[in-house]
Every structure is written in structure tokens, then in C-alpha cells.
Amino acid sequence: MENITHQAKIINIKGHTITLKLMPNDACHSCAANNFCNLSKHGRERVINIDDANSANFQIGEEVDVCISLRNGIKAVVYAYIIPLLLLLGAVIICKTIGLNDFKSGISGIIVLLPYYFVLFLMKNKFNSGLTFKITGHTTDE
């Protein structure tokens, strides 16, 4: 199965938890998911935590490769972008169909997203356990 891989720098190690700073790279522009990825669009760095039983093998400042399976990456895009878009558009279309004006239809679309994001917030531990990042390789900067 194909993976989505990023280079990252270790910024902290505490117990078995490794804190990484993901950095955009040149390959981001040719990636199939770059339209949805905040790393490629804005050139921003993103910080993530990974639980790794082998955390003692790594050092702060070390550059590593981090990957997530393509399936999990697509799953994240669906929950973060596709479902909210469909809910928003569905609510606006229904409101316009029943005769509400543009303002009320737009507000209704936004209101529909509130319970969706609240449920996502309540289920964040389930999502975090399903979307696992793995450290696949590392090189030490000397």
C-alpha cells in the first residue's frame, strides 16, 4: 500500500512521545493530496506527536521521515473537508428550496456544521488512534 511521507525534525522527546515538526518539501507540489494539505499551500510547519516505543533511539534535532498510509490520509481529508462541504451545501440548498433568503440559508449552513464539529471533537481520541503516523527512517545531522 502506498504511503504519504514527509520529512520532519524532532523537537522534543518525553517518555515514548516524540514531538515532530513537519516541514513542506519540493515533493509536496507533485503530491495528489496537495490541494487539501495545509503544508503545501501555505508553506507552514506543523507539529505532531507520535507515540513510539523506540523513542530512546532518537535525538532532539534529528531529521526523520514520517509516513501515514494513503488510506488514512484520504480518510482524514474526507472527515476534515468533504463531509463538512456536503453538509454545508446540503443545508444551503434545502434552505433555498424552502424559500429562505441567502443570508438565512448561509447561516443555516454554518449552524449545521456546529454539531458535526462538536461530534468530531468528542470523538477525537478515536480518530487519533486510527490515524497513526510512523517514523520510517532517520538520518542524523552532524
Q: pLDDT tens-digit profile of 24-73?
A: 665 555 555 555 555 545 556 788 888 877 788 888 888 888 888 888 88
**pTM (predicted TM-score):** 0.64
Residue-level pLDDT at 39: 52
Residue among 65, 69, 25 at smallest CA distance from 43: 25
Q: Which SS3 state, helix, strand or coil, does residue 98 take?
A: coil
Cα 24 to Cα 32: distance, rounded to the nearest angstrom: 14
Q: What mean pLDDT is reported for the chain?
A: 81
Cα 26 to Cα 13: distance, rounded to the nearest angstrom: 27
pLDDT digits (tens, 9 = 90+) for 76-121: 889 989 999 999 999 999 999 999 999 999 999 999 999 999 999 9
Q: Which residues, listed in sequence order, are joined to residue 124 by a DSSP beta bridge?
A: none
Residue-level pLDDT at 142: 45
